[in-house]
Amino acid sequence: MSLAYCRATAHHVARSLQRSGISSSTSSPFCKAARQNIQFAAISGSRTLSASVTYPDESMEHSYEQRRLPVTQFTEDEEMIRDAARHWANEELRPLVRDMDNEGKTRPEVIQGLFDHGFMGMEIPEEYGGSGMNFTSACLVVEELSRVDPSVSILVDIHNTLTNNAVRFWGSEELKKKWLPRLASDAVSSFALSEAGSGTDAFAMKTTATESPDGSYYTLNGEKLWISNSREAGVFLVFANVNPTLRHKGITAFMVDANTEGLHVGKAEKKLGLRASSTCPVVLDDVKVDTVDILGEVGLGYKYCINILNEGRIGIASQQIGIAKGCMDIAMPYLNDRSQFGTKLADFQGMEHQYAQIATEIHAAEIMTYNTCRMKENDIPFVKEASMAKLYSSQVAEKAASKSIEWLGGIGFTQDLLAEKFFRDCKVGSIYEGTSNIQLQTIAKRIKDEYR
Amino acid sequence: MKKILVPIKRVIDYAQKVRVDPSKGPQGVQLKNVKMSMNPFCEIAVEEAIQLKEQNKGAEVVAISVGPKQCTETIRTALAMGADRGIHVETKPDVRGDYIDLQPWAIASLLKGIVDREDAVDLVLLGKQSIDSDCGQTGPLLAGLLNAPQATFAANIERGDDGSFTVERETDTGTETIKLNASGKPAVITCDLRLNTPRYPTMPNIMKAKKKPVETISLEDMVKELGLDLDEVLTPKHEVVEVYEPPPRKEGETVGSIDELLGKLKEKGLVA
């Protein structure tokens, strides 16, 4: 019995309880409600279970037991995918991490490795050259890569969870046929939304797209800022306004080939962290884009952008968890090895309390994030939970990175270990794909609405 | 070349710390909740099979495993690496997969039957030994039962156009090169560490592996089909007398000078 089916059923079950007057919030764990309703369904014979799915000829109670897998229990494929990502990250990526950080550049062989191993077309269907994986698998890969180098995982995350998915959801068949195979095999993508005057206030963007007289193409003009992956990108998903008088309802999304005349990638920012990830201004100087390269419909770009960022932030949460675990990977062996006053550092109670606390918070962040993945896979509304996961994971990552340096002592403060890199890398977690203040607002809005 | 069979074994992951299980008396190691993986030498065998398949278009690679139902995960890994299909001979949960219940003779007997059952097998590639039992017997026993040419500890394998295999073997005194002539029987080759570096599965291959066929057949049914005797298969040929953890390393002695070192060595009769 698939996990997806189980969760969809439980949700279905909780909803029918609501309808029958038994209160059950869909955001609270469905255990109690589901247990009640299974017996309720058995007695009343109501069709709370989807009739289109066959379920085993066993007692309801036994079926119930079968469904209750923990959120951190992944399928066989997901475990294999996670193992493969971990393996590649440790064997091929780890030796290059420090140098790439110092050079401020991702090596071309790393990018090639990402494509060769299928990390770039994860959710793209097989018929377009991708692997046809689910969202959870993609997040697991991001986590495993982050555990070794968050600069590389952000490239993978933005590419898969923002660009690829936006094209899959809203692209015309023609657009999908044109771009998905390239996105899966050789073209790194950038999500070109932000500008100097519009970060959080994304809709205040000034980049314009002017329709040609014959309506066959648009001319884009403007300057995007803070664009990740831009130096390596083969294609940019650019948000531009076709009619500023309509305000945000003129925002349209365009797939722009990096080689298009008039598109220039500026000098990379010198950043505190994620230094191997290129973050550059992207100037659009009379860039002509054919109408076939419009993603979805003109004027709906603002909707696409909000929706895709709502899910992309689950990927960021995975990245942050990877960072936190990466810090533990460095600190814990050291604590188990080093002694002072004849005692292993890991055995001092003060230390025990600290790493136990951090481990607990990582576990909580993990559960939040993968639970949200499953909600998304089952078409259960997840915006609040995604905000919570991103908010909390970035907080946990920052704490873990900071603490791990303290535990490591003097050597943690040097470049001999990667702990100091994680400390620098984690800070942007509370900033990009929606600042922490914005996450708090998103959550607050939904909480107060629940109680109104 | 038409068919390559690769028997693979599910063992305790090589990076895991193995502990003796006191509840199993003097005999067993802790298997519960321990991470299990494909035997590293079996991985090398799978990799070699796939490389040979890539060189010889149209060849089929079949991964075979004998063990509990979790062996499907091991077979799935082989499929994700590039094997075409799997055969899982499923044993009951209480049958230990390591070396206590299922031993090389039983496995070799089953494999012999499966080779005949498969028909037109050109090559059987196995790991040289498993990291739990370290017996190293299954390959040679299988070759004996099949009356087939064999080469063990392969560090390099080349296939000739006439269907022969030239194998460089690792021995304690150096490398030996032998040629297995085409004989109408499948060649049996066991793989050593230097043969290749196994690939880790890519994302598309992991997803493709889901669609590859795996035949699951219970040990009892397979034994019946092959005309073997179940008791004969399940009765161990050797008995594990005791399993124990190595004694903890004793502290060494620090000496002050080379003369003192030589003195100590002479004392212990290690130096004349």
**Mean pLDDT of successive 10-residue stretches along chain A, which has 452 residues:** 46 47 40 40 36 38 62 92 95 97 97 97 96 97 98 98 97 97 97 96 96 97 97 98 96 97 97 97 98 97 96 97 98 97 97 98 98 96 98 98 98 97 98 96 97 95
Chains A, B: CB contacts under 8 A, how many? 48
Q: Of A279-288, B196-205, B247-256, which gets the smallest average pLDDT?
A: B247-256
CA atoms within 13 A on the CB side of A293: 22
A80 contacts B207? CB cut-off 8 A: no
Q: Are A12 and A48 in contact, with CB atoms under 8 Å apart? A: yes
Q: Of A376-380, B31-35, B97-101, B204-208, which gets the smallest average pLDDT?
A: B97-101
Instruction: Give residue ranges of B with CB < 8 Å to any A CB.
Output: 72-73, 76-77, 80, 200-207, 209-210
Q: Are A291 and A256 in contact, with CB atoms under 8 Å apart? A: no
Residue A47 pLDDT: 35
Identity of the amino acid at B83: A
Confidence band, pLDDT 50/70/90 cuts, at residue B232: confident
Which residue does chain A place closest to B81, by CA atoms?
A: A84
Residue A68 pLDDT: 77
Q: Does A304 touch chain B (CB under 8 A)?
A: no
Q: Does A128 touch chain B (CB under 8 A)?
A: no
Which residue does chain B place closest to A86, by CA atoms?
A: B200
A76 contacts B206? CB cut-off 8 A: no
Task: Classify each residue of B191-224 as buried b or exposed e, where b means 16 or more C-beta atoms within 10 Å of its C-beta.
Answer: bbeebbebbbbbbbbbbbbeebebeeeebeebbe
Average pLDDT over residues B73-81: 95
The residue among A322, A266, A301 whose CA lies nearest residue A154 is: A322
In the 3-class helix/strand/coil scheme, how is A390-410 assigned residue by residue? HHHHHHHHHHHHHHHHHHHHH
Asked whether the predicted pLDDT for residue B116 surpasses 70, the reply is yes
Identity of the amino acid at B152: T
Q: CB-CB: which of A84, A126, A131 is closest to B200?
A: A84
Residue B24 pLDDT: 66
Confidence band, pLDDT 50/70/90 cuts, at residue B27: low
B202 contacts A116? CB cut-off 8 A: yes
The residue among A426, A389, A365 whose CA lies nearest residue A313 is: A389
Q: What are the C-alpha distances in Å from A409 to residues A344, A400, B18? A: 14, 14, 32
Q: Does A116 touch chain B (CB under 8 A)?
A: yes
Residue B95 pLDDT: 81
Q: Does A133 touch chain B (CB under 8 A)?
A: yes
Chain B residues touching residue A83 (CB < 8 angstroms): 200
B204 contacts A126? CB cut-off 8 A: yes
Query: Chain A closest CA to B82's CA: distance in Å?
Result: 14
A84 contacts B206? CB cut-off 8 A: yes
Our answer to whether residue A433 is catalytic in this structure is yes
CB A440: neighbour CB atoms within 10 A? 13
Query: Chain A closest CA to B128's CA: distance in Å?
Result: 24
A77 contacts B203? CB cut-off 8 A: no
Residue B26 pLDDT: 57
Q: CB-CB: which of A76, A91, A119 is closest to B203?
A: A119
Which residue has tokens 């015309």?
A172
B76 contacts A81? CB cut-off 8 A: no
Among A75, A76, A77, A80, the residue to mutate for chain B (most B Cβ within 10 A): A80
* SS3 call for B38: strand
| Token reading at A346 | 């890991």
Average pLDDT over residues B247-271: 88
